[in-house]
Structure 1
Amino acid sequence: MAISTQNRIPKEAFTLRPSNERGMVDLGWLKSAHSFSFGQYFDPEHIQFESLRVINDDFIQSGKGFPQHPHKNAEIFSYVLKGQLEHKDSMGNGSVVKSGGIQYMSAGSGVTHSEFNPSQSEDVRLLQIWLLPNVENESPLYDTLDLTPEDKDGKLKLFLSRDGREGSMRIKSDADIYAATLQGNQNIEYNIFDGHKAWIQVARGSLRVNGQTLTAGDGLAINKGGGIVLSNGQDSEFILFDLESRH
């Protein structure tokens, strides 16, 4: 059913998080932009959005990465946009996820892991995202999923969900998470239920959401339920988070 003009969420319910206002980190081997407070970057106005706690836009130099480090009670996934990312953890898992792939880890009662760029010639770019769990201290787990270009071409592809439907990985957080690409005259309509909010993170390119223009690196908080129309994509790739309100 098409979203009526009356049901479209007005721009007044949007809060833009501009790309150039994110916290910037440059360690040489790692260049990262933080949408929310993380590490040495602290911004009291941007701690989290509902259960969404971390969005880091990372570029990792060839042969470099994060050595073994611990996590507990966090839902973490990496959305690989370019290159490849190697994962090893204390559960015995090991994998290399390439562009278009997603690795997901539920830290639960505790896990250690490392993430490296195994290439000796190419940087890897990824979005590393953390969400707060809806249940704590369960056994940790790890999973991966590969998305094809066709999976998300002009449509929302569910890849993490509360219930594991439609071939998605099941996440222990009150969130459904989609990926999509948008180009030219493609349109996507999506309805956010009452009691839910949403966040759109633009990985690359540009698009419009109910007339609001977003460009690469922008985040858009959608603070009420209703309909959204995603349109005017120019080489656009983005992630949409449908989040149950915690208030």
Structure 2
Amino acid sequence: MQRFGGLTVLRAGERYRTDLPGVRSWHCFSAGSHYDPDNLSFGSVLGVDEHLVEPGAGFDWHAHRGVEIVSFVLDGVLRHESDTDERLVSQGELLRQDASDGLRHRETNGGDTPLRFVQTTWLAGAGTSLDLVHGAARVSAPRAHLFVARGAFGCNSGPADDGVALRAGDSVRADGLVTLSGSGAVLVVRLAR
């Protein structure tokens, strides 16, 4: 990770990578066998994971508790099954899941082409929210985590900050106001503190 003014940037190539049968994942925070005590979370944000899932593959039944999860489908179709419902989530759509009291689900490729999606997880009840930004924006929050899902952006944290260029797969941890310019899609997680 590198510091640029009030921004800490993790480049796409610095993310942890996990390969499972039919699934390749890149993690912005410690995950699975990739334990880094200095990179466990950013405030209430626990995970930002990009997954590439081949047809017929995915994540079998598993449980979550005490978190909120948002998945953004970049390519393909995500099949989401829980104990209470089943749905298909298409390219460009967000799936929001509240696992505060517990959730058991399965996530698989729902189509015949590769599925690529980003999944963000944070502690439930922490006053955290997520927005999808497609172009120039001002992000005002005490703290924010930004993940460039598509495209290229410039990002700065104030008038004295020269900013930093970001590409797909890069992420930013910021304290205070952040200004974005460019085009594509950025997942912006606003933290209450």
Same fold (TM over 0.5): yes
Paired residues for 1:146-185 under 5 Å: 173-182=126-135
* Unpaired segments ≥5 residues, structure 2: 157-162
CA contact (8 A) 2:99 2:124 kept: no
How far, CA to CA, are the matches of 2:190 and 2:99 in structure 1?
21
4+ residue runs of structure 1 moved beyond 6 angstroms?
none
Higher relative contact order (CA closer than 8 Å, sequence separation 6+): 2
Which structure features the higher share of strand residues?
2
How far, CA to CA, are the matches of 2:96 and 2:140 in structure 1?
26
Give CA deviations for 1:198-240 in whole Å, capped at 9, x if unaligned: 11101122110122111111111112x23x3211x2x521111
CA contact (8 A) 2:21 2:57 kept: no
- 2:70 maps to 1:117: no
Residue identity over aligned pairs, in percent, reads 29
Structure 2 counterpart of 1:38: 31
How far, CA to CA, are the matches of 2:59 and 2:50 in structure 1?
15
Structure 1 counterpart of 2:192: 244
Structure 2 counterpart of 1:6: none
Give CA deviations for 1:62-90 in whole Å, capped at 9, x if unaligned: 11111111111111121111101111111
Give aligned pairs, total.
185
How far, CA to CA, are the matches of 2:140 and 2:122 in structure 1?
22
TM-score (norm 1): 0.71
Structure 2 counterpart of 1:216: 168
Match of 2:146 among 186, 200, 207: 200
Q: Secondary structure at the match of 2:5?
A: helix
Note the C-alpha offset of 1:242.
1.3
How far, CA to CA, are the matches of 1:189 and 1:132 in structure 2?
24
> How well do the aligned residues superpose, as a CA RMSD in angstroms?
1.6
TM-score (norm 2): 0.90
Give CA deviations for 1:157-205 in whole Å, capped at 9, x if unaligned: xxxxxxxxxxxxxxxx4112111223xxxx323333xxx1111101122
Structure 2 counterpart of 1:189: 138
Structure 1 counterpart of 2:42: 49
